[in-house]
Structures are given as structure tokens and as C-alpha cells.
Amino acid sequence: MADQTLNAEGLNCPLPIIKAKKALKGMSAGQILEVRATDPGSVADFAAFCKQTGNELMSSSSEGDIYRFEIKRA
Amino acid sequence: MLDTQNLDNAKSMSIIVTKGSLDWAYPPFILGTTAAAMDVEVTMFFTFYGLTLLKKDLNLKFTTLGNPAMEMPMMGMHMPMPNMMGMVPGVGAAAGKMMKNLIKKKGVASIEELREAAIESEVKMIGCQMTLDLFEYDRKDMIDEMEIGGAATYMEKALRSDINLFI
């Protein structure tokens, strides 16, 4: 269950990443952020973002046109 | 805010921003804000036409001139924008308007929005003193977050950056 949800639907690169970073900043370690996006580039971008920042990408999935990411705050 | 200077694995990037048209403003601001979101310490050095991107009031335009590969999506097709069209009065303004509409429609951030994100994520933005003098810009017309510096200020940053870009 996510502690916070970010709706990044309709937003293009780099807005989903920038908004996710902003949301994560306001959360505490161990909390989970769910991001919903429609930008197909966000699949590779959230993987790279998490790898670099040390936040854990718990899941990356898609339902129709919506991409869903669960990120655990480091 | 993560204090990247105290981390051994902290990365840093510098970008020299030399162009101030709407299309050229995107790459430095997209990379700068994204790098900052990835905990990279970012310095952007605005010089020559790039310095206009630090004006309080942005009124960015773009031109078909010098963009020979440019095509605009239109009614399911792509319309080439020949260089020559840039010489026809009104075409530049129309192309700028078209581009801004497209940006909005596609959920692409505006430059204003990206610059705000850069400020929020503590991207260091240095305005070139020589350019201020050369083009007679008033410090009061530029955003408060702009620091002033010159080539040596840039070099000091660039020499210890992992990535240095010239855009």
C-alpha cells in the first residue's frame, strides 16, 4: 500500500521525474510513493532515476496506457 | 535537501548555456533539472544569448532559420519548415505560437516551469558579467537567484565536475 500517490498522467519528460523527486523529498525513509504516468519514456527513466538515487523501485508495471511505479524512499 | 558535497560518490555537472531561443532553452533546463533530481550538483553558466533565459520576464521565440531538419506535426503529417520561410514577415511569430501550443498540448513543461524547478532544486545559475555589460542588461531585470561570475568562476566548477556540457 503506497503512503503517497503522484498522478503524472499526461506529463512529458522530465516532469514525472522532477515531481516524483519533489514528492520523495517530503516523505520519510521506508515510505512508498506510487507514480502513475502516461509517458512511455518514464519506464526507462524511473529505473535510471532509482538506480542513481538509491531509492528502491519496488515495481514497474503497466495497465493499458498507464504506467505505474512503486518507489520506496531510501 | 541532500548535501551532495559531503558524499564521496556525489556527482556534479556544469552546463554552458549560450542560446536563448525557445527550442535551444530546453536541453540545458531539462538536463539541469533532471540531474538535480538525481542528486547531481548542477551549475549552469549563462553567457551571450543564453543570458536572456535568466530575465524575470521570459518572452522566448524561435526561428525556422538555421533549423534545416525542422518539421512540425500537422494533421497527422509532418510539414517541413524551410529556412526560407523564416524570412517571410510573421512566420517566426506564427511558428513560435505554434510551438508553444504544441508544448502545452503534449504535456511538455514550459521553460518558466523548468527554471522554477531548477531554482527549487538549488541548481546554481551563474550569469556572465561580461555579457551583462556587453548587451547592457540591468541586474534588476534578471531573476534574484542569478549569481554573477566570469570565466574563472566557470572553470573552477568545471574542473571538478563529472560532466561538462556546452549547449
Please report, for residues A65, A68, B38, the alpha-carbon distance to residue A58 in angstroms, rounded to integers and kept in the order given.
Answer: 20, 11, 18
Interface contact B37-A11, CB threshold 8 A: no
Full residue range of the structural domain in which residue A19 is found: 4-72
Interface test with A, best of B4, B33, B38, B104 (most A CBs within 10 A): B38
Which residues on A lie below 8 Å from B122 (Cβ)?
none
Q: What pLDDT digit, counting tens, does each position of B110-149 carry?
A: 999 999 999 999 999 999 999 999 999 999 999 999 999 9
Query: What's the CATH number where A47 sits?
Result: 3.30.110.40
Interface test with A, best of B2, B12, B34 (most A CBs within 10 A): B34
Task: Say if CB B152 and CB B130 are below 8 A apart.
Answer: no
Q: What ipTM does the predicted assembly reach?
A: 0.88
CA torsion sign, B115 to A66 to A42 to B71?
negative
Determine the Cα–Cα distance for residues B51 and B127; give it in Å rounded to an integer: 6
- CA nearest neighbour of B33 among B140, B122, B164: B122
- Choice between B22 and B90, residue whose per-residue pLDDT is larger: B22
Domain total for chain A? Answer: 1
Interface contact B30-A13, CB threshold 8 A: yes
Residue B1 identity: M
- pLDDT of B5 strictly over 60: no
- CA nearest neighbour of B95 among B111, B82, B77: B82
pLDDT digits (tens), chain A, 74 positions: 899 999 999 999 999 999 999 999 999 999 999 999 999 999 999 999 999 999 999 999 999 999 999 999 99
Question: Which one of B33, B39, B107 has the shortest CB-CB distance to A18?
Answer: B33
Q: How many CB pairs under 8 A join A and B?
A: 41
Determine the Cα–Cα distance for residues A50 and B52; give it in Å rounded to an integer: 34
pTM of the full predicted structure? 0.88
The domain spans of chain B are: 4-60+110-166
At the topology level, CATH places domain B4-60+110-166 in Hypothetical Protein Ychn; Chain: A, (3.40.1260)
Question: Which one of A14, A48, A53 has the shortest CB-CB distance to B33?
Answer: A14
Residue B44: pLDDT band by 50, 70, 90 thresholds?
very high
Task: Quote the pLDDT of residue B7.
Answer: 56
Which residues of B make CB contacts under 8 Å with A?
Answer: 1, 30, 33-34, 37-39, 106-109, 113, 117, 120-121
Catalytic residue among A10, A13, A48, A61: A13
Task: Quote the pLDDT of residue B84.
Answer: 73
Task: Quote the pLDDT of residue B9.
Answer: 66
Determine the Cα–Cα distance for residues B18 and B162; give it in Å rounded to an integer: 20
- pLDDT of B31 strictly over 60: yes
